[in-house]
Amino acid sequence: MGPGPSDINPRVLQAMATPVVGHLDPEFVQIMDDIKVMTQQTFRTSNELTFTVSAPGSAGMETCLVNLLEPADEAVICIHGVFGGRMADIAERCGAKVWRVEAPWGEPIDPSQVKDALEQCSPKLVAIVHAETSTGVLQPLDEISSMTHDAGALLVVDAVTSYCGTELNVDDWGIDAIYSGTQKCLSAPPGLSPVSFSQRAVEALEQRSTKVQSWFLDLSLVKNYWAGAKRAYHHTAPVSAMFALREAYRIVLEEGLEARFLRHRDNHKLLRDGLEQRGFEFLVDEPYRLPMLNAVKLPQGVDDASTRSRLLNEFNIEVGGGLGNFAGKIWRIGLMGESCNPDHIDKLFHALDSILN
Amino acid sequence: MGPGPSDINPRVLQAMATPVVGHLDPEFVQIMDDIKVMTQQTFRTSNELTFTVSAPGSAGMETCLVNLLEPADEAVICIHGVFGGRMADIAERCGAKVWRVEAPWGEPIDPSQVKDALEQCSPKLVAIVHAETSTGVLQPLDEISSMTHDAGALLVVDAVTSYCGTELNVDDWGIDAIYSGTQKCLSAPPGLSPVSFSQRAVEALEQRSTKVQSWFLDLSLVKNYWAGAKRAYHHTAPVSAMFALREAYRIVLEEGLEARFLRHRDNHKLLRDGLEQRGFEFLVDEPYRLPMLNAVKLPQGVDDASTRSRLLNEFNIEVGGGLGNFAGKIWRIGLMGESCNPDHIDKLFHALDSILN
């Protein structure tokens, strides 16, 4: 019940333990195709450039930014937690001029701030985190998407924690580049990052005048391995992790996205009610709360480190601590994918009652 | 029997299917420590900065180069196959001035060429591939190491295919930065890259005047997750793949490195004799042949694609085709780790006899 990795279904673990085949074997190419289709379905996109980065979510973040930014480009980066800050760091490493739009941790970004920034610069992209894992904030994207496109910029979205756990419509919302991770609401092992680029983003790639600074993440190379008639060798794909990812996608689609979102909302309410009864207060205002990542202030007198350590050692329950200024003050309780069920919540309440009373 | 991934021991597959724990769980931190020690043992190094990149071998290559090179640095890159060429590409993306030292594919680099290059420039590093997977060449490193250090430069070595399959002594040979992959002679699933930096390389890191261009691969951040009293969160480690890696290392060390090297040599001889009897000729001169990657010229009248396709579809045997100018002309037959045994060789001979006669 931490901020990820979440529990993994035994079917996924078993798929991962299948003996490997070569990364250019026709059988594996078929698996890549299957994964691509299911990534499109779960992102709700028809983007042709939809694939999996062979590294964790932060490499997915870097993939989006290093491919879209060139030195001297301008970028508006929205920061309302750790991961927005990381995007700004990466954009600066690309040589971009970064315009920071910041909100206090625990609050969403106000679209009017983005509007102000867009009036001051001519950015190639606006980047924002949909679900801030460090604060539990769900960021509304519709207004920001419209103003980004009106300004002629691309919208880049971090959906690491929201993907497969709450409403996310890449095409309808006009998202141009999106990345996620496998270890949150998708409940596959950590280590891969699903990514999708819109046609507008692909055109921006094609119009680059410099090489992408990372060879490993350069989509002009990666796309020849993921698409096209002849699959050109780029790197050796993590074959076992891909077996696992395919099975995890199948489980998501068997449940259905809407049913999965509902399950996350229902369990969030169950957790919320019990936590509030026990003196925990939510950090984030109700309309902006993530169902799968519950950031709560510790009640007076509850020690962070020792309580989390007892939860782990005596009850085998992991909850996440606060990051940055919130260290020692909040917990981040995950209800992600396989870990999002009433049984886990009951066990947490039982453990808390036993430790805190 | 391709150029990797190799077969995986069932113990490793089973370890990988263990339910996951958090990437900051004390139990997982212990696993990272275990892996670090076994990586040191197998690299034969006491380098403190020894760790695993959470991405495949080509990301290990990029890790070494982006951390050691800054814009305007000079680098001597030795190219005698695909992977030397890739190193030059990455070094140029770092903004380095690259001096190319080239040998015909199928031959090792002549140390006198490196000497000439070192007289023409003041490189920060010399980079070279120990085992060229594209050609089957084993590159002697001793002379090149001495002259690199005499020139005040760092020696960067690609050991993706040689690691755990043939002699490799990081400390004795004066290697300053080395990377490998997990899917060759180590016989773990693809997707991770063991890396080690010498004290001299660490000093070069500390003397950088610019940020590393990749956030994901920036060792000033990665090392705080892999070492130090408090493990600082950087990215979510691929927990399942690390379970597998630990088990694969245990198997390597149970066998013993010397015994493992001998097994690779013995099976290489068995394969060589049978292939020569069947009209295949080795591409590489005898003293420079890799035991685990056998590059052989196709006998007159043997069609590349259709024969490899029959091997795969009728006999379930994968062998690698040639790359670049060697496409259609050579095969690359792997004898790596778990796949390096007389049984596999017998099956290949049986299949060849059945197809070619």
**Where does residue A256 fall: left (phi above 0), alpha (psi -120 to 50 degrees), or beta otherwise?**
left
pLDDT at B228 over 80: no
Per residue in A160-190, pLDDT (tens digit) is 999 999 999 999 999 999 999 999 999 999 9
The reply to whether residue B240 touches residue A55, judged by beta carbons under 8 angstroms, is no
Tokens 């920036």 sit on residue: B218
CB-CB contact of B244 with B15 (8 Å): yes
B136 touches chain A (CB under 8 A): no
Tokens 């990988």 sit on residue: B16
Per residue in B309-337, pLDDT (tens digit) is 999 999 999 999 999 889 999 999 999 99
Per residue in A47-59, pLDDT (tens digit) is 999 999 999 999 9
Min Cα distance A276 → chain B (Å) is: 26
The pLDDT of residue A318 is 95
Domain architecture of chain A: domains with CATH: 10-253 (3.40.640.10), 257-356 (3.90.1150.10)
Strands B74-79 and B125-129: parallel
> What gap in Å lies between CA B7 and CA B11, rounded to an integer?
12
Q: Which residue of B has its CA nearest to A334?
A: B22
The pLDDT of residue A229 is 72
The pLDDT of residue B277 is 97
> What gap in Å lies between CA B347 and CA B315, rounded to an integer?
8
pLDDT at A129 over 80: yes
B 227-256: CB under 8 A from A: 233-241, 244
The pLDDT of residue A232 is 86
Per the structure block, which two tokens stand in for B81? 């196959």
The reply to whether residue A58 touches residue B215, judged by beta carbons under 8 angstroms, is yes
The reply to whether residue B238 touches residue A213, judged by beta carbons under 8 angstroms, is no
> What gap in Å lies between CA B61 and CA B156, rounded to an integer?
9
The reply to whether residue B93 touches residue A215, judged by beta carbons under 8 angstroms, is yes
* Mutate which: B31, B236, B338, vs A, most A CBs within 10 A: B236
Which residues make Cβ contacts (< 8 Å) with residue A352, sequence separation at least 6? A278, A311
Q: Bridge-partner residues for A8, per DSSP?
A: none
| pTM for this model (two decimals) | 0.97
Q: Bridge-partner residues for B112, per DSSP?
A: none
The pLDDT of residue A132 is 96
B 195-234: CB under 8 A from A: 211-216, 233-234
Confidence of residue A75 (pLDDT cuts 50, 70, 90): very high
B56 touches chain A (CB under 8 A): yes
**Where does residue A326 fall: left (phi above 0), alpha (psi -120 to 50 degrees), or beta otherwise?**
alpha
Tokens 């009728």 sit on residue: B314
Per residue in B231-290, pLDDT (tens digit) is 888 999 999 999 999 999 999 999 999 999 999 999 999 999 999 999 999 999 999 999
The reply to whether residue A240 touches residue B244, judged by beta carbons under 8 angstroms, is yes
Average pLDDT (A313-342) is 96
The pLDDT of residue B96 is 98
The pLDDT of residue B232 is 86
Q: Which residue of A has its CA nearest to B192?
A: A238
Confidence of residue A147 (pLDDT cuts 50, 70, 90): very high
CA-closest candidate to residue A180, choices A46, A89, A52 = A52
A121 touches chain B (CB under 8 A): no
Which residues of chain B lie closer than 8 angstroms to A235, CB-CB? 56-59
The pLDDT of residue A324 is 87
Which residues of chain B lie closer than 8 angstroms to A312, CB-CB? 25-26
Per residue in A228-256, pLDDT (tens digit) is 777 888 999 999 999 999 999 999 999 99
Handedness of CA B244, B246, B251, B256 (dihedral sign): positive
A 84-113: CB under 8 A from B: 86, 89-90, 92-94
Strands B293-297 and A193-197: unpaired
Confidence of residue B121 (pLDDT cuts 50, 70, 90): very high
Per residue in A79-95, pLDDT (tens digit) is 999 999 999 999 999 99
Q: Which residue of A has its CA nearest to B210?
A: A93
Q: Which residue of B has its CA nearest to A191?
A: B238
Average pLDDT (A255-262) is 98
The pLDDT of residue B273 is 98
Average pLDDT (B128-141) is 97
B2 touches chain A (CB under 8 A): yes
The reply to whether residue B59 touches residue A57, judged by beta carbons under 8 angstroms, is no
Per residue in B10-58, pLDDT (tens digit) is 999 999 999 999 998 999 999 999 999 999 999 999 999 999 999 999 9
Q: Which stretches of chain A are assigned E, i.e. beta strand?
A: 49-53, 74-79, 97-102, 125-129, 131-132, 137-138, 154-158, 177-179, 193-197, 281-282, 293-297, 320-321, 330-334
The pLDDT of residue A343 is 98
pLDDT at B303 over 90: yes
> How many other C-beta atoms are found inside a 10 Å radius of the C-beta of residue A215?
25
The reply to whether residue A56 touches residue B57, judged by beta carbons under 8 angstroms, is no
Which residues of chain A lie closer than 8 angstroms to B214, CB-CB? 62, 66, 93, 213-214
B321 touches chain A (CB under 8 A): no
The reply to whether residue A191 touches residue B14, judged by beta carbons under 8 angstroms, is no
* Mutate which: B7, B12, B20, B220, vs A, most A CBs within 10 A: B20
The reply to whether residue A8 touches residue B19, judged by beta carbons under 8 angstroms, is yes
Which residues of chain A lie closer than 8 angstroms to B25, CB-CB? 312, 318
Per residue in A211-225, pLDDT (tens digit) is 999 999 999 999 999
Q: Which residue of B has its CA nearest to A318?
A: B22
Min Cα distance B29 → chain A (Å) is: 14
**A13, A22, A318: residue with CB nearest B2:** A22
B11 touches chain A (CB under 8 A): no
Q: Which residue of B has its CA nearest to A183?
A: B236
> What gap in Å lies between CA B76 and CA B96, rounded to an integer?
10
Q: What does the longest C-alpha to C-alpha distance in chain A come to?
A: 64
The reply to whether residue B241 touches residue A58, judged by beta carbons under 8 angstroms, is no
The reply to whether residue B20 touches residue A4, judged by beta carbons under 8 angstroms, is no
Own/partner pairs for B304-311, CB < 8 Å, 24+ apart? Answer: B304/B328, B304/B329, B304/B331, B307/B355, B307/B356, B310/B355, B311/B348, B311/B351, B311/B352, B311/B355
Which residues of chain B lie closer than 8 angstroms to A92, CB-CB? 211
Which residues make Cβ contacts (< 8 Å) with residue B25, sequence separation at least 6? A312, A318
